[in-house]
Each structure stands twice: as structure tokens, then as C-alpha cells.
Amino acid sequence: MSLQRFISEAISPWMKSGPGPDSDIVLSTRIRLARNMEQYPFPVFAPPEMAEAVLNDTAAEFSSIRLQTGSSLERLNMDDLNSNEKRVLVEKHLISPYLAERSQSGAVMLSPDESVSIMLNEEDHIRMQTLFRGFQLSEGLDFSNKLDDWTEEKITYAFDEKRGYLTSCPTNVGTGMRASVMMHLPALVMTRQLNRILPAIHQLGLVVRGIYGEGSEAQGNLFQISNQMTLGKPEEDIVEDLKGVVTQIIRQERMARDALMRSSRTYMEDKVFRSFGILKNSRIMESKEATERLSDVRLGIDLDLIKGISGNILNELMILTQPGFLRQYAEKELRADERDVRRAALIRERMELEKQSDE
């Protein structure tokens, strides 16, 4: 396993193993735990030699983990990567932009299928991320708890009896957990119902973010919904509350899709097949248009209008057509207009491949 493997394919192996529960609407589930070591200052306050000690201590422990498949985690030091390699890892959601900027004493430990990513010396000493196909909050929490228990046997966490796990940012104190689902909600957007639902979600103590997390805009009708509160409730209750809200949203998105298909089937077919045709034929494609068209095609696949194309196309092409990946394939820096040409070519190529594999 090498760096090349992690940055050459847009779609992580964990995404490829078939659809997950409710994956017509929930693309993936993520659990993130923030943890710190008791004996060292938090990363923002740690002098370089202490940051290095944190990195060496934690990386040594995580290297000895054996996952269910018998595989181990691979360490990538930020120092050893060039800026585009880091950008690609950010585009794949495997590291944060913050870690990418922090070259000294920052690292990530990745499982071969990329479902486990542990950032070291990010905002906290340890940020453990686990990703799952579809809607799997309870399964995700179970697995993260196992990873956390295993780590806690080796590393003494900064923990306070009253406040729970101590973290750099006060918004993470307590459980240190963010549980989230990435949802594709085109019908709720089209019927303008999401504008009504979003404020209600906020009132329930949940956050809605775009595809690239905090501060990112919603693109391609993809919305990440996660817990805001980390204090005062056990992890299981936080996850149960989130599950309840997500289940409701799934129901409403399905009802909106059904209603649109009943009332405006021709309009829906036109929208889906028009985007499909444009993606298969364009010579210039801006990223905003690409994400919108890809969302239409994914909806077409989920409504069974488009057959023989994998539902993963949305996740894959959204990542593959980001600037870092495009640069990686071009093997040179690209201007924005050159990127648009390459993006269109890549999408056409990928669509052609899907067609061939269906024949």
C-alpha cells in the first residue's frame, strides 16, 4: 500500500462494496471522535518537540491496531506530501484542510479501504473518523466505540469527570463526537420544502453543512446533517436523536420524489435525461454545473429512469472533478478554463466506461 493508492482513485474502496441501507438518499454515515492526550498541551499550545512526541507516541500505538480484515493502518506524514497530494486527500474527505496546512508534526493513519482515517495533531491530538455506506449510525457508533476503547487502553486521554473528554474547541467538549449523514435531497429542494425543514432541524440542535463540511456550501443537493451538542447527553442518545430526524427526512424526500413522479413525470424525465445527455456530450463543464447535472443523473438512477449506471457516479465524479484530482491527472498546473475542458472530458470518459461495463 502506498501514497499513490490513496490519491489515484476518487472512490474509496469502502464505497464500492454495494449499496448501504437507504442509500437512495443517504450516501454515507460518518462518526468523528476528538480526543487528546493527558500529558501534552493541546496542539495549538504544544511547542514543536512536544508535537513531535505526540505524533510518535500516537502513531506507534495506532500502527499496532489490526482491523477486522487483519489489515493495519498506514501512516502518511503531512511533511512528506506535496500540496496537490494533500489537496487530493482533502477532496476525498480523508484529511481536513486544517491538517493539510499544518505540515510540521501532522499525520494521518488510513485503513486500506479508507473507511478509517485518524488525523494526528490536527485541532486535537487525535481525530478518529469512520465512514460507512448508507444510513448506519448505530453500526458506526459501535465501531467507533470499539476503536476508542482500544485506544483508551493504550493512551491516557484528557478527561474530566464532570465535563467528559476535553478538546481544543469548547464545542466538542463532552463526548467529542460528531455523528453525521450525507444526504441527497433533490426532491425536497425542487419542491422548496427544504427551506421549511432546515430551520426545524436547527431548532432540534442539529447542524446542516455542505459536502465539504464546516463553511462549505451545499452543492449537488448534498447536505451533511450532524449533531451540534456534544455535552450533557451520552453518545447513544445523540445518535438516536439524529437517527429519528434523519428517518423523517428520508421519508419526506421519498414522498416528494413520488409526488413529483406522479404530477410531473415528463418534466422529471426531461430534467434527468437532459443532464445525462449534457454530461455525456459536453466539451466544457464548470464545476457548479457538473455537480447539478450529476445530482440529476443520480436522481434518475434512484428513480429507475436511468439503468445500468452505478449510483456511486455522483460521489465519484464529484470528487474526481475537483481541482486537485484534475491537476493530478493532467500532471501539471491547470488554469480554470483548462480545468473546465478536462472536467468535461473526464466525465465523458467515465460515462463511456459505465456504458461499456453494462454491455
Ligand X SMILES: Nc1ncnc2c1ncn2[C@@H]1O[C@H](COP(=O)(O)OP(=O)(O)OP(=O)(O)O)[C@@H](O)[C@H]1O
Site string for ligand X, 116-135 (x = CB under 6 A): ---------------x----
Contact at 8 Å (CB) between 79 and 103?
Answer: yes
Structure-block grid coordinates of residue 359: 454491455
For residues 9 and 52, which CB has a smaller minimum distance to ligand X in the complex? 9
Looking up cell 451533511 gives 224
Member of 12, 23, 29, 136 binding ligand X (CB under 6 A):
29
Q: Which of 51, 89, 211, 344 binds ligand X (CB under 6 A)?
A: 211
Among 224, 252, 282, 321, binds ligand X (CB under 6 A): 224
Annotated binding site: 28-32, 93, 127, 178-182, 209-214
Considering the complex, what minimum distance in angstroms separates the CB of residue 359 from ligand X?
Answer: 32
| Cβ proximity to ligand X, 19 vs 213, nearer residue | 213
Q: Which is nearer to ligand X, 206 or 211 (CB)?
A: 211
Closest residue to ligand X, Cβ-based? 213
Closest separation in Å from C-beta 87 to ligand X: 12
Q: How far is the CB of 277 from ligand X (least distance, A)?
A: 29
Q: x-or-dash pattern for ligand X, window 84-103, by CB under 6 A?
A: ---------x--x-------
| Count of residues that interact with ligand X, criterion CB under 6 A | 18
Minimum separation from the CB atom of position 11 to ligand X (A): 12
Minimal distance, residue 319 CB to ligand X, in Å: 10
Q: Which residues bind ligand X (CB under 6 A)?
A: 28-30, 32, 93, 96, 131, 172, 178, 180-182, 209, 211-214, 224
